[in-house]
Structure 1
Amino acid sequence: MAGSHRICAALLAAGQSLRFGEQDKLAQDLHGRKLGLHVAETLQNMDFADKIAIVSSDSCLCIPAWTNLGFDIVMNPEARAGMATSVALAARHAQQMEADGLLICLADMPFVSGALLDQLVAAFRNESTGAILCATEGDKRSPPALFGSRHFAKLASLSGDAGARDLIAEARVIAAAPHELTDIDTPAELEQWNGRPLP
């Protein structure tokens, strides 16, 4: 039944953060919480069959908090080869879990709301396992994105830095609120958002 689809959630946190410098970007403060915990805490409050956080190193300072939030930690030894390696790992995990769907979120997108994730999940539960859904703001298509199990094999074979961009181009879109799909890449962007209310 569509209503009983089992969904795995994957938080991608293995990026190299080259534009941020040598600091652990996800461990930097954003309005009193680590940047990498904002969307993780949103995911914690939702009912998923499984939750994983994909990291490039066990030195990531958010790991203890993610573990406390119920995430299993998955190491990506090939993270330097690009985001697609993390997407592929997530897809292989979802295959092993025999999940019907895979939700991909990025750890450096702190403003993704539970309401947006609820809309993605609700739309997926009314679709077949061949569905692809993603968020959109204007012309921008972006994670969070939800992939039905028919796409796991293709996701698992991805390489390079394009991630699932080609598949997202075919997705049914769910509109996000203004600024909801903001990702924080530089210290200046983090400072800017610390100086203004969260969206």
Structure 2
Amino acid sequence: MNLAIIILAAGASQRFGESNKLLALVAGRPMIEHVIVATKDVPAAYRFAVTGEADAKLLDLLTRYDVTAIPNPNVRQGQGSSIAAGAQAALHSGAEAALIVLGDMPFVTGKYLRMICETLQDNEAVVSEFAGRHMPPMLFGKAALHRLANLSPEGSGKDVLRSPYKALPLPTDMARDIDTRETLAKYKSSLGDSS
């Protein structure tokens, strides 16, 4: 499978404050670096990160890991615009499938991402499921990838799901995303992390 990985890294971090939350330290590394490292466990032909108003530190980090930044000038219109930008880049590169991960979910492991990829087979998509809802990471085959490329700005990956698709349980410890400084402090405290 000619796979593209799309990391969504364009959020405005409004609830986090003025700094880019993706660069906040978790266990001594920027949050998004944990995500990038986990994706390196997945064989992929293409690696993209959809960025908003990315700062130099984020772009340097992406370059260091050979991840291509895809600027999204429409980020304020909604997450769907970032998903569409990533899907368009994946299709333009010749990808047959795309694994979409969030830059603010640093606890998702490479092993879990590989399990998603191994599950695609005859399914059109594989989604993570936690507490009864579908969420990233999500893997989309080519037909779904074309629909993602035309996603409305306020849309999400769930909007393009068609049968057959498979839902994989996302373990509780991986389902955590970090949207606020309080959430970050809570997770750091639970991990004994002083970074």
- TM-score by length of structure 1 reads 0.90
Structure 1 residues 145, 60: CA separation in 2 closer, same or farther (over 3 Å shift)? farther
Give yes or no for the alignment of 1:23 onto 2:16: no
Residue 64 of structure 2 is aligned with which of 68, 85, 96?
68
Contact 1:53–1:74 (CA<8 Å) still a contact in 2? yes
| AA aligned opposite 2:184 | L
Following superposition, the deviation at residue 127 of structure 1 comes to: 2.0
Whole-angstrom CA distance in 2 between matches of 1:133 and 1:60: 33
| AA aligned opposite 1:119 | M
Local SS of the residue matching 1:196: helix
Give yes or no for the alignment of 1:138 onto 2:134: no
Q: 2:76 corresponds to which residue? A: 80
- Counting aligned pairs with the same residue, the percent is 27
Give yes or no for the alignment of 1:102 onto 2:98: yes
Contact 2:147–2:160 (CA<8 Å) still a contact in 1? no
Contact 2:22–2:103 (CA<8 Å) still a contact in 1? yes
Q: 1:48 corresponds to which residue? A: 44
| AA aligned opposite 2:25 | D
Deviating more after overlay: 157-166 vs 19-28: 157-166
Residue 113 of structure 2 is aligned with which of 114, 117, 120?
117
Structure 1 residues 192, 168: CA separation in 2 closer, same or farther (over 3 Å shift)? farther
Local SS of the residue matching 2:57: coil
Whole-angstrom CA distance in 1 between matches of 2:177 and 2:161: 17
Local SS of the residue matching 1:70: coil
Whole-angstrom CA distance in 2 between matches of 1:39 and 1:116: 12
Q: 1:183 corresponds to which residue? A: 177
Name structure 1 gaps, 5 residues minimum: none
Following superposition, the deviation at residue 31 of structure 1 comes to: 1.4
Local SS of the residue matching 2:128: strand
1:120-199 residue pairs with structure 2 within 5 A? 120-124=116-120, 126-127=121-122, 131-168=124-161, 171-197=165-191
Deviating more after overlay: 60-69 vs 143-152: 60-69
Name structure 2 gaps, 5 residues minimum: none
- TM-score by length of structure 2 reads 0.91
Following superposition, the deviation at residue 169 of structure 1 comes to: 7.9
Aligned residues: CA RMSD: 1.7
Structure 1 residues 58, 23: CA separation in 2 closer, same or farther (over 3 Å shift)? closer
Following superposition, the deviation at residue 63 of structure 1 comes to: 1.9
Instruction: Count how many residue pairs are aligned between Structure 1 and Structure 2.
Output: 191
